Amino acid sequence: MTPKNKPLRKSSVRSNNKSTRLGRVLVESAKQIAAHMNGEIELPTKVVRVVPDVDVRAIREAQGLTREQFAESYGLQVRAVQEWEQGRRKPEPAVRAYMLVIKNQPAAVRRALTAA
């Protein structure tokens, strides 16, 4: 048989009003959205805190440290510090949070790291 004459596949649509689990979930979700839009129900919300961008170079320079000293003092890789400062990479949210702690409490971070 040529591709033009190839019989079509049987449809995966179920008959006899049977539905899939996914189908039931989608229908229920659509009903909840409609009820929420009509003000009938409140849906749960999740608050996501976004860690702001940080200027790694400014944090490092405020402490008067070279990249190597900064990386060694705070357990970072020199290459990562360099790439963050030059804008080739952006620190992950956990690193940005860590940078904010270093900026605001550098002595406490150094104490914690030396005690570890």
Q: What confidence tens digit (pLDDT) does each residue in 74-88 have?
A: 999 999 999 999 999
How far apart are alpha carbons 24 and 21 in whole angstroms? 5
Distance (Å) of CA 1 to CA 8, 11, 22, 71, 92: 12, 20, 36, 67, 55
Largest Cα separation within the chain, whole Å, is 77
Q: What confidence tens digit (pLDDT) does each residue in 3-41 have?
A: 566 665 655 555 556 789 999 999 999 999 999 999 999
Chain centroid to Cα 96, Å, comes to: 12
Domains of the chain: 56-115 (1.10.260.40)
